[in-house]
Structure 1
Amino acid sequence: MSDDVSRETPSVPVVARRVFASDRLGLVERYTQLLATEGVVRGLIGPREAPRLWDRHILNSGVVAEALPAGASVCDIGTGAGLPGLVLAIARPDVQMTLIEPLLRRTTFLEEVVAELGLENVTVVRGRAEDLHGERTFDVVTSRAVAPLDRLLGWSMPLVAPDGALVAMKGQSAVDEIAAVSELLRTWRCATPEVRTLGDEILDPPTTVVRVEWSDPSSIGWPLARVSSRRAERRPRRSKREVS
C-alpha cells in the first residue's frame, strides 16, 4: 500500500497504551495512519475524521475487546473500513475475526491492510450478513453504527452460535432501541439485552454496547440460526483473507 499520500496523521495518545498491548501498538498505529491517508483518499473515512481517529474510532472500538471471550470466533458485520472488527483483531490476536462488507472498494482496502500488517487471524468476506445465514455461526457478532436494533437483530442473530452473543456498539439510544424490540426479542427467544459501558476509566465518554444472547441455547427461537448451527459443524472453515 502506498505511503505517497501527504496528509498529517494523528499521533498516538498516551491512553492507547491502556487499550492495546505494547506489542500490538505499532500495528494499530500503522492501521490508523492508513485510515488517515489511504482511507481518506478512497472515500472510506471523511477528511474531518482523520484528526480525531484515535478518540472517536480506534479507542472507542478497541475497548470492546474486553467483551470478547478468549479464543472466540468473531464476525463483524458491515465492517466498512474495519471498525470495530479490524481494531479488535489487532487488539486480540487470540480471536478469529471475520469481516463482512459488501462494497468492493472497502474489501480491497481491508485485504491490503490485513496483508501489510500480517494479521493471520482475519478473514475478509465481500458480501452481506444474510449471505452467511445458514452457513456459519460465531461466538460473537459485532457491529458499529450499522442499523437500528430491530434490523440488526435480523441480520446478526442467525449468525450467533447457541452459546454466543450479539455485541453491538450503540450510543445513548440503546435503552430506547431495546424497548422498541421487546416483542421481537420474546418471539425469537432472546434473553433480556444487557447494556454495558466499556472503558469507563479510560474514555470520556465510554463505549456503550448492547449484548444479546439466546435465552435458552438448547431452544433457539430463530429457525435459521438452528439450521446454521448444524451446518457450521459440517462445513470446513474458509481460508484466511478469503473474498467471495
Structure 2
Amino acid sequence: MADITAADLLAAEKIFGDRLDLARRYVEHLETSGIERGLIGPREIPRLWGRHVLNCAVIESEIARGSHVADVGSGAGLPGLCLAIARPDLELTLIEPLERRVIWLQEVVDDLGLDNVTVMRTRAELAVGLVKADVVTARAVSALSKLAGLTIPLLDGKGELVAIKGRSAEEEIEKAAKVIRKLGGVQTSVVLCGAELLEEPTTVVKVLVDKPRKSA
C-alpha cells in the first residue's frame, strides 16, 4: 500500500474533504492495476500521494467553479481524475489516445462512481469541435511550444490553459511565446500552487486565451 505522510494526509484532507475516501480508492487503483498495466512505474508507489495525486490536485485552486475542463493526455488520470474527485462541481473530459489507458480510466471512473467525467479515446487535435472547454489541463505531455497547439484550440477562442510544468517553466514560455500569441493567448504567467500545503509546490503555466472572432 502507498504510504501517506502526516503532512500529505493533512493536505489531502484539506483538498479532498469528504471525498478523501474516493482519493484513497483512486490511489489503490494506481498502485495495483495502474502498475500492472504500465500506466505508472512501480518505483512511484512511495511517491503516489505527494509527487502525483496531491501535486495534481492542488491546481484546482486555479479553476473557476462549474468549469468544463478538458484534460489532454490524461494517461493515469493525472490531473484529470484528481480534479474530478476534489471538485465535483467541475465537468471533466479526459482525452487519451491509447486504448489500454482509456479502458483503465473508464474502469476507475465506474468504480468510483464519478458522474462528472467523460473519457474520450482520441487525439487532442481530433477533439477540436467535439469538445468545447473553459479550461484545458495537461501534465507531462510535451514542451509548451507544442502543447499550446494541442490544447488551446479546445478552448474555441476563449478560456484558460492550466499546464503543470517544472523548473523550466519560464524558459518554455519564452520559446512558446510566438505560438501562444498566434493561438489567441493574451496573458501567460507562472503560478505556484499548494505552497501552504505541500513541501514542494506545483508549478503551473497559465495561459489566458481570448481570440477575437473573425467578422463574417
Q: TM-score range by the shorter chain?
A: over 0.9
Which residue identity does 1:212 align to in structure 2? V
Do 1:9 and 1:37's aligned partners in 2 also have CA atoms closer than 8 Å? no
- The match for 2:94 is 99
Residue 136 (structure 1) shift? 2.3
- The match for 2:3 is 10
Q: For this pair of structures, how many residues does the alignment match?
A: 212
Do 1:10 and 1:33's aligned partners in 2 also have CA atoms closer than 8 Å? no
- The match for 2:45 is 50
Q: Deviations over 1:66-102 (max 9, x none)?
A: 1111010000000001000001000000010000111
- The match for 1:3 is none
Query: Identity percentage over the alignment?
Result: 49
Write the distance in 2 (CA, Å) between the matches of 1:172 and 1:30.
31
Ranges of 4+ aligned residues in structure 1 off by more than 6 Å: none
Instruction: Compute the RMSD of aligned alpha carbons.
Output: 1.6
- The match for 1:20 is 16
**Which segments of 5 or more consecutive residues in structure 2 lack a partner in the other structure?**
none
Residue 38 (structure 1) shift? 1.0
SS at match of 1:93: coil
Alignment of 1:6-85 (within 5 A): 8-11=1-4, 13-21=9-17, 23-85=18-80
User: Structure 1 residues 14, 185: CA separation in 2 closer, same or farther (over 3 Å shift)?
Assistant: closer
- The match for 1:122 is 117
TM-score by length of 1: 0.83
- The match for 1:173 is 168
Residue 131 (structure 1) shift? 1.2
Write the distance in 2 (CA, Å) between the matches of 1:186 and 1:43.
37
**Which segments of 5 or more consecutive residues in structure 1 lack a partner in the other structure?**
1-7, 227-244
Which residue identity does 2:81 align to in structure 1? L
Q: Deviations over 1:156-179 (max 9, x none)?
A: 011014431110000111100011
Do 2:136 and 2:151's aligned partners in 1 also have CA atoms closer than 8 Å? yes
Write the distance in 1 (CA, Å) between the matches of 2:81 and 2:114.
9
Q: Deviations over 1:127-180 (max 9, x none)?
A: 110111133210000000100001101100110144311100001111000111
- The match for 1:149 is 144
Write the distance in 1 (CA, Å) between the matches of 2:72 and 2:3.
27
